Structure 1
Amino acid sequence: MKLNDEVRETLLDEVTGLGDEELNKRPSSGGWSIAQVMEHLYLMERAVVYNIQHALENGSIKEVSSKPIELTVNRSRKVEAPEFVQPNESSMTLKDLQRKLQTSHEALRGIYTTVDQERLVEKTAVHPVFGEMNLFQWIPFVGYHEQRHIDQIKEIKETL
């Protein structure tokens, strides 16, 4: 969770001082607004929490090799977000986004601090790019995924 905490702090620092208009403005070249990127990060973290909980309750024990999840930060390969983690078009406030991100982060932290690591390692869930990953690897994946999108936010800020 240390990686996740550090990356989350970086994310919040990156958007500090931005007004709601700046957050919700989409780049002229298309793509998501900063607010939509943040909403996507919330939806993704929430989905990971759900998937881990579901796999802990219903999944079978299976040994899988570690995946190179650190490659997630490489933005040279575009990955289309699944529909369930795509942000909506409505305008959002920084305060609401911060609250959502805090809620999803606390839920992931709850899993990390209360579930035995051995259980997280022995159960798996399928990732759309990396394939079957043990549940323990899903936790730092969230941090790497967030780092990828911090770079996107920096690019959006430059274009605005």
Structure 2
Amino acid sequence: MKYFEDNLYFTREQLLIEISHVSDEVFNRKFETNKWSIAQICHHLLKTETLFTKAILFGLEQNKRAETVRKPIEQVLDRSRFISAPKISEPGKGPFYVLQIIQQLNDSRINLLGVLNKIEDKSILEEIAVKHPVFEDLSLDQWVELLYLHEQRHIQQIKDQKKLR
């Protein structure tokens, strides 16, 4: 579990470094009409983390243990593959404000870590699966791993957006 916490922390720090010195104007600017703004990417990440936390809580509450097959979730890092966001995790139109989003991301991460830290035996995360919209039945430990991989994907997208300003 320490590995997950380190990766969650490191990835979030990378995200905050990328957005913390961006003006609200640049944060909300759409550089391409069919792409999200940096703010929308961050709002999507916030919504995704909230949904993942709910999925993990749901799995823990259901406590249905089953054999799970490890899924190739690292493919989320391949940005040549387009993955459409589920409607529920699509961002709002904004405008959004950098400091507000940073605070919301911090609150969301505290909530997720609070859920994970209450689990006495972390191995249970490998034994419980919850349906994911792309990967189907996904063990809870892979939900956690997917969260920071997904964030890494979008950090690269933000870096690309910043080059266009």
**TM-score range, shorter-chain basis?**
over 0.9
Unpaired runs of 5+ in structure 1?
none
Matches within 5 A, 1:3-152: 3-115=7-119, 116-152=121-157
TM superposition shift of 1:84: 0.8
Give % identity. 34
Pairwise CA RMSD of aligned residues?
1.2
TM-score by length of 2: 0.92
TM superposition shift of 1:140: 1.4
TM superposition shift of 1:128: 2.1
Aligned to 2:164: 159
Question: How many Å separate the matches in 1 of 2:94 and 2:33?
Answer: 19
Contact 1:55 1:125 in 2 (8 A): yes
TM superposition shift of 1:48: 0.3
In structure 2, the residue corresponding to 1:75 is in which secondary structure? coil
Size of the aligned set, in residue pairs, is 160
Question: How many Å separate the matches in 2 of 1:128 and 1:84?
Answer: 11
Q: Return closer, same or farther for 1:121/1:28 CA change in 2, 3 Å cut-off.
A: closer
TM superposition shift of 1:152: 0.5
The runs of at least 4 consecutive aligned structure 1 residues that moved more than 4 Å come to none
TM superposition shift of 1:59: 4.7
1:23-67 CA-to-partner distances (Å, cap 9, x unmatched) read 000113431000000000000000000011112112521110212
In structure 1, the residue corresponding to 2:81 is in which secondary structure? coil
Question: How many Å separate the matches in 2 of 1:90 and 1:14?
Answer: 19
In structure 2, the residue corresponding to 1:6 is in which secondary structure? helix
Report the residue type matching 2:113 in the other structure: R
TM superposition shift of 1:151: 0.6
TM-score by length of 1: 0.95
